[in-house]
Chains A and B, each alone.
Chain A
């Protein structure tokens, strides 16, 4: 596609529900990142994929967070048993190669509100 696409744009969940957030990166981009952005803060790294391989998941806050990219394209971030502190914007970004110094193309994010 023309850019990074994320869905849904907004998600409201009751505490304890599971949610799945989807990211469709730019076609052909090797690298895919998930970041979490709280209100008024900068994005914080969650996890990184190079093609289908998850090379870094050091930023995932707990074992309730799980990400996958099974065919090296679309990625899903799943949060189990959501809690209020999970409320944030979840940003997906992709880059062309597998290098750490490339510019990132971000999606518009999924705004998650946990009630």
Chain B
């Protein structure tokens, strides 16, 4: 099975940088997804990491360390519209299903 852990809530200021951490324990691991979910809406894909290291995509970057079972999502130049839940999800080797964390609710304040 898989166990995903991420903080429940975070607050950050508009224009700042925030890092959302995710740790995972898994019996078989393929890669790590990040999804964004605004309240009452569908989760939308942000990133997918398979290899160790940092992948940058505009204001958002995602990092993975397979040896440490650790990932983070880095959001730069925060905007009010970034207020949402951020879901970390692990894909298992040989499995089609994703195991999601409980999500981190990010509040961006002026």
Residues of A near any B CB (own CB < 8 A): 4, 31, 33, 35, 40-45, 48, 50, 55-56, 58-59, 91, 100-101, 103-109
Measured between C-beta atoms, what is the minimum distance from B53 to chain A in Å? 17
Question: With A42-B103, A45-B98, A103-B48 as given contacts, are A91 and B30 in contact (CB-CB < 8 Å)?
Answer: no
Partner of B102, one of A40, A104, A106: A40
Docked Cα-Cα span, A104 to B33, in Å, equals 10
Query: Could you tell me if A91 and B97 are in contact, using CB atoms closer than 8 angstroms?
Result: no
Which chain B residues numbered 25 to 60 have a C-beta less than 8 Å away from chain A? Answer: 30-31, 33, 35, 40-45, 48, 50
Stretch in contact with the other chain, from B12-20, B71-79, B84-92: B84-92
Query: Could you tell me if A41 and B45 are in contact, using CB atoms closer than 8 angstroms?
Result: no
Query: Could you tell me if A45 and B99 are in contact, using CB atoms closer than 8 angstroms?
Result: yes
**Residue picked from B91, B96, B98, most chain A C-beta under 10 Å:** B96
Query: Could you tell me if A44 and B100 are in contact, using CB atoms closer than 8 angstroms?
Result: yes
Query: Could you tell me if A104 and B45 are in contact, using CB atoms closer than 8 angstroms?
Result: yes
Query: Could you tell me if B42 and A108 are in contact, using CB atoms closer than 8 angstroms?
Result: yes
Measured between C-beta atoms, what is the minimum distance from B60 to chain A in Å? 14
Query: Could you tell me if A100 and B95 are in contact, using CB atoms closer than 8 angstroms?
Result: yes
Query: Could you tell me if A109 and B42 are in contact, using CB atoms closer than 8 angstroms?
Result: yes
